[in-house]
Chain A
Amino acid sequence: MAHPLQELVHKGWLWQGREATEQLAPEQFIDSGWPDLNRRLGGGWLRGAVHELQVRCHFQGELALLMPTLVAQQKPCLWVNPPAMPYWPGLAHRQLARAPLWLQERDPKLALWAIEQALKSETLGIVVAWLNKPEAAVVRRLQQVAAKHDQLVFIVTAWQASTEARAYVNRLQLDWQNESLQIAILKRRAGWPLPAFPCAVSSFLPPRRQRSA
């Protein structure tokens, strides 16, 4: 029988602190383009890791959040099962150098197989996948492959009210409030969860008219 503590660990209520002592070199981090976020994540997006972005609804700013990272990337990126057709003229307008590779696959198992092959090939810059609440085993597997091949993966998924433990390195929750994107950090490598803070993703969006008083 599993130890009762295991259950708590599984539910995400109990954390093991052994990774905290791990020292990470600055070059292990990729600048996210947002100083506030960099500071909270210990330097930026950790390479060789899977990051989770929970969104309340699609198109609320998750791509704008990733845009600085995508723009800085020299290698082509792979987008798996995005919620709509990526629009290359619009992406080019945001200074993206190369059109993403767009993979659309209905069978979740095949989609995961494709992601894994992409990570193993080590030819891509970033893999962004829109997955519907992936299972713990799936995340663990992706995390292992990403770590082994030193790849950067973002999983965009729906908001989850109760957080079961997952092997993501960082788990971010995005929400739009008070005319700015709020980012709550549910889990991070560098320390405790952090409450929501505003992120100025609007600089990657068309200008808004100020709400009239």
Chain B
Amino acid sequence: MSQDKLWWYLLTPALLLDEQLALQQQEQRRQPQVLCENEGQRGRTVVQLNPAAIAAGIQRGMPEVLAQTLAPTLQSRDYDPSRETTVLQRLAQWLHQDIAQIALYPPNGLLFEVAGLRRLYGDYLELEQRLHQRLRRLGVRYVLTAGDSPLMARVFAQAGQSGVVASRSQRQQRLAQINIAQSLLPLVSQQRLQELGIATLGALLKLPEAELGARFGRAILAYLAELKGQLCPPQQWYQPPETFTERLDLLTEVSSWQQLLFPLRRLLQQLEAFLQSRQWSVTQLILCAYHRDKSQTQVTVAFALPLWRQRDMQQLVQLQLERHQLPSPALEIAVQAKTFSAREAQHQSWVAEPHTEKYAQHDLQALLGKLQSRLGEQAIRQAQAQADWRPEAAQLWQPQLSTEAAPADLVRPLWLLPEAQPITLDNWQLQWGPERIQTAWWDTEAVGRDYFIAVDAQQRQGWVFQSQQQWYLHGWFS
């Protein structure tokens, strides 16, 4: 029976609130906070609450008014299931690094098919530890359960029966003790079963199926088949998206990029997970701050070399943001990445001689990226030779590295003035020349110049030319 499938279910009862808490400062986190939802006649009731609220005596399903009386400092916000689903998708993406088959049960549940992972991890214990580790890093409260069918795992989770390491028989025993109220059966069936005195799933499972079917209809038979794993409805496996877009609610208005660095770290962690699961790296990010008046500010962050670690990206983003200012306070922040590249294998060791050149280039790229992030892309450049007769067009300074050589046959100065300076020849002594540089008539900036090397009063050798009866200084030789 070892071929049997095993399902784990992760229930995050307060996912949206936990996500918001993770972004808060320690002190704010200790304040009682709840998320409330409108529930028809009962008015607004508490849906999610943090430990501080629990300590104050607040419970789930309690009217908001009562909760306010119990904790006068209570912070209450709206619960939004669609937003929680977005957070759930993010969670699925985060866990996708470890588990390939994840099905979403919105708004707060994830189902994992783990039997196939046994060979990879050797033991469920290791996988469990890894999941615990990841979830603890996110600061999410959760229940992780195992079942022989998806439904069984979900029932355990609903009942709060945490723990995944157990044998099949232990699971059956546990299942028998589950109260009908936690069975995930429709409310009507629950009531009818309770009226008959069937209080636990164990009692239900003992009854002959044919009679149950005759009495309660086909729905309950389907339920039992699903619970036992005889019937397995197809699962919609989570497909990770091809581009990265994550948005984060800041809860309070933030007026500078500096204050955004902490929430950004979380988004970049997400991005790292996204890249890690695909073995990609990224060279460009778009940071987007959303303001109250629905306007947004975008900052494009480019890296000189492909990155994927949160630490590296954070460092460069931080340097780059020091040059920018937010026009108005931001309510939300987003990170987008659209173009990716496959990673190149890198060796840790520097011993391999033939590759040293490549490593040096890599380090140089890293330096360039760092300088450009802080000083701006145009602050540091390297030249490329261009095939053009006009001296000022014979080179192009670009913010990328180049290793190209330039043609070296012509006598040219070491320096070029950005614009030729008009001079009077009295102060100069012509020594060598002329060299006529003439461009074709179809060029927009036609050039017809006679170049000389001349020495000035300080004995400096300059590159001067005559054009239309006027002398100009264009470069220096030393």
- A residues lining the B interface (CB < 8 Å): 56-64, 75-76, 82-95, 97-105, 110, 113-114, 117-118, 121-124, 176, 179, 201, 204-209
Q: Pick the interface stretch among B108-116, B177-185, B406-414.
A: B406-414
Partner of A62, one of B360, B379, B406, B478: B478
Q: List 18 A-B contacts (CB under 8 A).
A: A59-B478, A63-B414, A86-B415, A87-B395, A87-B414, A88-B384, A88-B394, A90-B415, A92-B407, A94-B414, A95-B408, A97-B405, A99-B406, A100-B383, A118-B371, A176-B459, A176-B460, A205-B461
- Chain A residues with CB under 8 Å of B431's CB are 206, 208-209
Partner of A93, one of B375, B404, B410: B410
What's the nearest-Cβ distance from chain B to residue A106, in Å?
Answer: 9
- Chain A residues with CB under 8 Å of B406's CB are 88-89, 91-92, 99
In the complex, whether B449 has a CB less than 8 A from a CB of chain A is: no
- Chain B residues with CB under 8 Å of A104's CB are 379-380
In the complex, whether B366 has a CB less than 8 A from a CB of chain A is: yes
**In the complex the two chains form, is A113's CB within 8 Å of B374's CB?**
yes
In the complex, whether B363 has a CB less than 8 A from a CB of chain A is: yes
Give the interface centre of B367, B404, B407, B411 by most chain A CB atoms within 10 Å.
B367
Given A76-B364, A209-B431, A89–B394 Cβ distance below 8 Å?
Answer: yes
The CA of A86 and the CA of B381, in the complex, are separated in Å by 11
A-B contact count (CB 8 A): 163
* CB closest chain-B residue, reference A91: B414
- Chain A residues with CB under 8 Å of B417's CB are 84-85
**In the complex the two chains form, is A57's CB within 8 Å of B458's CB?**
yes
* CB closest chain-A residue, reference B395: A88
Give the interface centre of A95, A99, A110, A206 by most chain B CB atoms within 10 Å.
A99
* CB closest chain-A residue, reference B365: A123
With A113-B374, A176-B458 known, 18 other A-B pairs at CB within 8 A are A60-B459, A75-B360, A76-B364, A76-B382, A84-B416, A84-B475, A87-B416, A88-B394, A88-B395, A90-B415, A102-B382, A103-B371, A110-B375, A114-B374, A114-B375, A123-B360, A179-B459, A209-B431
In the complex, whether B370 has a CB less than 8 A from a CB of chain A is: yes
Partner of A92, one of B366, B385, B415, B458: B385
**In the complex the two chains form, is B367's CB within 8 Å of A118's CB?**
yes
- Chain A residues with CB under 8 Å of B382's CB are 76, 99-102
**In the complex the two chains form, is B367's CB within 8 Å of A99's CB?**
no
The CA of A88 and the CA of B383, in the complex, are separated in Å by 6
- Chain A residues with CB under 8 Å of B381's CB are 101-102
The CA of A102 and the CA of B372, in the complex, are separated in Å by 12
Top 8 nearest A-B pairs (CB, nearest first) are A92-B406, A90-B412, A88-B383, A59-B476, A99-B383, A87-B416, A176-B459, A121-B367
Partner of B475, one of A75, A83, A87, A113: A87
- Chain B residues with CB under 8 Å of A90's CB are 412-416, 475, 477
**In the complex the two chains form, is A103's CB within 8 Å of B380's CB?**
yes
In the complex, whether B34 has a CB less than 8 A from a CB of chain A is: no
Given A90-B412, A123-B364, A206-B477, A114–B371 Cβ distance below 8 Å?
Answer: yes
* CB closest chain-B residue, reference A59: B476
The CA of A43 and the CA of B478, in the complex, are separated in Å by 24
Give the interface centre of B371, B384, B462 by most chain A CB atoms within 10 Å.
B371
